[in-house]
């Protein structure tokens, strides 16, 4: 049986990933802030929780020990290098053979070949500036986290989510290497399916050292490519 760790398990994405992982028969260890442990009551006795900040190196070291895969919800909250601290702790402490799967948004680019609309670029700039000013979040620290992941020789995948919505699963999202590719045009994915893609990536070695940008498999742009329209 595979043992996996979900870092940031108490959030929406984390809980969906926990359910998919349990459905696959994986043993699940989760990391979340102590105050959020209660959000995981529905998984009681089916998962092990290590309470603590996800950028606490000792917490991560304990949680990822012996894991075959680590799923990481990268979030930039606060002005304390939370994303890069979380990513670095996982990169340093996960077993060398483990699959490491990180979540982020389309604003992360690996090779600079992504094509963004002017509106998107402006929005990211404004949100980055405003959230830093208000000391709510450091979007540029999520960028730093991903730079470190891309430079790492661990078995990583960075999954770049489109806009998200709630709703029933539609199945495994489709992906492309670059934002701007026609298949991604619809820019919407069900959060439950984002989680499915993350969990499935653990067993998909073709995604090692890839930064797939994903979109729902039943969105118009995905269906148009599938049917050759």
Ligand X SMILES: NC(=O)c1ccc[n+]([C@@H]2O[C@H](COP(=O)([O-])OP(=O)(O)OC[C@H]3O[C@@H](n4cnc5c(N)ncnc54)[C@H](OP(=O)(O)O)[C@@H]3O)[C@@H](O)[C@H]2O)c1
Query: Quick check: helix, strand or coil at residue 168?
Result: coil
Residue at shortest CB range from ligand X? 11
In the complex with ligand X, the residue whose CB is nearer, 73 or 179, is 73
In this structure, the number of other CB atoms found within 10 A of the CB of residue 32 comes to 26
In the complex with ligand X, the residue whose CB is nearer, 10 or 128, is 10
**Least spacing, CB of residue 166 vs ligand X, in Å:** 10
What tokens does 163 get? Answer: 């806009």
Q: Does 28 bind ligand X (CB under 6 A)?
A: no
- Total interface residues for ligand X by CB under 6 A: 23
Q: Which of 45, 50, 55, 44 is nearest to 89 (CA)?
A: 55
What tokens does 188 get? Answer: 């919407």
Q: Does 11 bind ligand X (CB under 6 A)?
A: yes
Enumerate residues 52-111 that contact ligand X by CB under 6 A: 73-75, 77-78, 82, 103-105
**Least spacing, CB of residue 32 vs ligand X, in Å:** 5
In the complex with ligand X, the residue whose CB is nearer, 67 or 179, is 179
Tokens 């619809």 sit on residue: 186
CA angle 95, 87, 43 (to 5 degrees): 75
Q: Does 12 bind ligand X (CB under 6 A)?
A: yes
**Least spacing, CB of residue 178 vs ligand X, in Å:** 16
Site string for ligand X, 147-166 (x = CB under 6 A): --------------x-xx--
Q: Does 8 bind ligand X (CB under 6 A)?
A: yes
**Least spacing, CB of residue 63 vs ligand X, in Å:** 14
User: 54 near 115, Cβ under 8 Å?
Assistant: no
Q: How many helices (H) and strands (E) does the chain have?
A: 7, 10
Q: How many residues does the chain have?
A: 229
In the complex with ligand X, the residue whose CB is nearer, 54 or 154, is 54
Element (H, E) at 213: strand 213-215
User: 72 near 87, Cβ under 8 Å?
Assistant: yes
Q: Catalog residues that contact ligand X under the rule CB under 6 A.
A: 8, 10-14, 32-33, 36, 39, 73-75, 77-78, 82, 103-105, 161, 163-164, 191
């Amino acid at each position: 049986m595979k043992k996996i760790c979900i870092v940031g398990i108490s959030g929406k994405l984390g809980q969906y990933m926990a359910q998919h992982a349990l459905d696959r028969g994986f043993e699940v260890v989760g990391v979340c802030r102590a105050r959020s442990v209660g959000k995981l009551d529905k998984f009681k006795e089916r998962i092990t929780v290590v309470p603590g900040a996800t950028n606490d190196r000792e917490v991560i070291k304990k949680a990822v020990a012996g894991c075959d895969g680590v799923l990481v919800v990268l979030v930039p909250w606060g002005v304390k290098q939370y994303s890069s601290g979380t990513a670095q702790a996982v990169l340093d402490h996960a077993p060398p053979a483990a699959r490491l799967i990180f979540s982020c948004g389309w604003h992360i680019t690996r090779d600079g070949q992504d094509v963004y609309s002017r509106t998107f670029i402006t929005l990211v700039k404004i949100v980055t500036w405003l959230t830093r000013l208000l000391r709510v979040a450091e979007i540029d620290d999520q960028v730093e986290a991903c730079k470190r992941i891309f430079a790492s020789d661990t078995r990583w995948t960075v999954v770049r989510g489109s806009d998200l919505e709630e709703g029933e699963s539609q199945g495994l999202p489709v992906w492309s290497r670059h934002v701007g590719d026609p298949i991604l045009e619809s820019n919407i994915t069900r959060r439950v399916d984002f989680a499915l893609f993350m969990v499935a990536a653990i067993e998909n070695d073709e995604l090692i050292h890839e930064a797939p940008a994903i979109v729902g498999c039943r969105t118009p742009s995905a269906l148009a490519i599938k049917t050759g329209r």
